[in-house]
Amino acid sequence: MRIAVVGATGMVGQIMLQVLREENFPVTELIPVASEKSVGKKVIFAGKEYPIVDIQTAVDMKPAVALFSAGGETSLEWAPKFAAVGTTVIDNSSAWRMDETKKLIVPEINGNSLTKEDKIIANPNCSTVQLVMALAPLHRVYKVKRVIVSTYQSITGTGVKAVEQMESERKGESANMVYPYPIDKNCLPHCDTFLDNGYTKEEMKLTNETKKILDPAINLTATAVRVPVVGGHSESVNIEFNRDFDLGDVRTILHKAAGIVVKDSPITNIYPMPRYAEGKNDVFVGRIRRDESQANTLNMWIVADNLRKGAATNAVQIAKLLVKNGLV
């Protein structure tokens, strides 16, 4: 079971390696891939040293699975080359998500749709993953009609340079500006680039990916905000269903859903927070309450580590499902 990790030295790539180890994934040979400047350096995995190789070398080694976290341009160029030699690619970029010929997978929701013919599999956007994880079990029972989501997204979603910007600002030092404004002691309603409709790419990812994963009939509008936090993404979500619900039943449905942890006892100050979610693979849901301004409508607060379930963990879980079902 040769496994390639493309982008092995990046933030998500490093977490992929951690999760592969934590999940006891049956790796017989690791193929870490990074940029030319990193080729020849060593990566330690499961007590063994593996040299970093260039991407063409990795293709030539014909791994069973290639986990990609190296950006959209790299994925568009190289994922088909891996697929052509029989490798199953699980891509963490936005390159293939809305391609009608590629599946957009969250294992707990639609993992069973995968077949041996799926050689390029798309991993959803981090903020989408945690949202649909909480929506899916409720949608099966009540049918989601409309969603309004406001996100509070960790700077780790931008990458290590964003973390360095915030740390420099907190020390009072000059910073390499990844964002157009300071991020420390600030909130930026600006995740990804702005589009002609006034929304950002991040906001439209939430809309379009949720429709593709769950149901194209769901109406969703989003506002995505970058906040000076490193632990994970948070989302305030307002959900209108086609019919009424019982709050006790909603909590039971979420409690029974795989990958969801309900933390909802406001009277004792128990609710999800990025500080608590950091380093964990689950999606945490709390502040579950009825919207008293409108019928059949629910409010929730959803938190997850965006580098884990929002990226690396979801990709590794897809790979585990492929192995379990004999698809690789």
Find all residues with CB under 8 Å of 57, minimum gap 6, and list them.
none
Q: Give the relative orientation of helices 126-142 and 201-213 as an angle to the nearest 10 degrees.
A: 40
237 touches 206 (CB < 8 A): no
The answer to whether residue 233 is catalytic is: yes
Please choose, from the candidates 176, 128, 112, the residue with its C-alpha nearest in 3D space to the C-alpha of residue 317.
112
193 touches 201 (CB < 8 A): yes
Q: How far is CA 96 from CA 73, 75, 100, 179, 308, in A?
A: 11, 8, 9, 26, 20
**How far is the C-alpha of 106 from the C-alpha of 111, rounded, in Å?**
6
253 touches 134 (CB < 8 A): no
The answer to whether residue 191 is catalytic is: no
Sheet of 283-290: strand order equals 219-226, 144-153, 233-241, 297-304, 283-290, 260-262
Catalytic residue among 187, 190, 191, 233, which? 233
- For the annotated catalytic residues, the residue numbers are 126, 233
